[in-house]
Amino acid sequence: MKFVPVVLSSLLFAAAQAAAQAPTECPSLPASSGLQWQQQAQADFLVCRAATAEGREVLSLMLSARDPAIPLNRSLRQEKGSFGGESLYWYQPDLGGQQPPGYAERRISVVKLDKGRYAQISLYPDSAQELGSLQQLAQGMSLTPSAVAAGR
């Protein structure tokens, strides 16, 4: 019966390793933003969706140890910005030629963070003004473990 504790111990160790590598929670949002996160955590990634009080998703953030490998076409490059202390360019998403309502303001970017971590950020504003506000919000987010733990 010594086999069961060894297997259980191994499984617990593997689960602890996976938990140590996966992000544990979304960065905090300023109270003045009026947004709330909906969080979905998996073993190797975390998806955070920021929604308005009415439930409209305006920002999604995926934190992962793997590169999302999204092709970002230079011809769709828009504004320069930053996220998590890293410089980036915002792109209009490539929707295969489709341009649904609000497409002109939509943005996406991928940033390589420290130690092989990646962030994929998507913005779904309903106006150019909201786009600017969401880009500022993304720029101000801190992803350091101490800042997340402290609610910044």
Do residues 80 and 89 lie in contact, with contact meaning Cβ atoms separated by under 8 Å? yes
- 58: nearest Cα among 105, 14, 90: 105
pLDDT number for residue 11: 37
pTM of the model: 0.77
- 134: nearest Cα among 109, 97, 112: 109
pLDDT number for residue 103: 92
Residue 101 is classified by DSSP as T
- With a cut of 70, list the residues of the chain below it in pLDDT: 1-24, 144-152
What is the Cα–Cα distance from 150 to 13, expressed in whole angstroms? 27
pLDDT number for residue 97: 86
